[in-house]
């Protein structure tokens, strides 16, 4: 995870991506890049949540 983005910003970007990919007219190459970005953001969010969970336990 080379990029450092806070959880709230990552979540907001994921919401924007979701809206964009729901467009039935989205081009395939745009969809692919959006989905790759979403995957990175989701992994970062999971990592941040896991870190918080570990610190609580």
pLDDT per residue over 21-43, tens digit each?
A: 999 999 999 999 999 999 999 99
In this prediction, residues 16-25 reach a mean pLDDT of 96
DSSP string for 1-57: ------HHHHHHHHHHHHHHHT-TT--HHHHHHHHHHHHHHHHHHHHHHHHHHHHH-
Cα–Cα distance for residue pair 42/40, rounded to 1 Å: 6
Is residue 26 assigned to a domain? yes
pLDDT value at residue 1: 46
Is residue 21 assigned to a domain? yes
pLDDT value at residue 5: 87
Percent of the chain residues past pLDDT 90, beyond the cut: 89
Q: Is pLDDT above 80 for 2?
A: no
Number of domains in the chain: 1
Question: Is this structure's pTM higher than 0.75?
Answer: yes
Is residue 19 assigned to a domain? yes
């Amino acid at each position: 995870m080379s990029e450092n983005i806070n959880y709230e910003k990552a979540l907001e970007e994921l919401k924007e991506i979701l809206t964009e990919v729901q467009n039935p007219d989205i081009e395939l190459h745009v969809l692919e890049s959006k989905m790759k970005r979403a995957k990175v953001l989701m992994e970062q969010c999971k990592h941040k949540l896991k870190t918080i969970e570990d610190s609580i336990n």
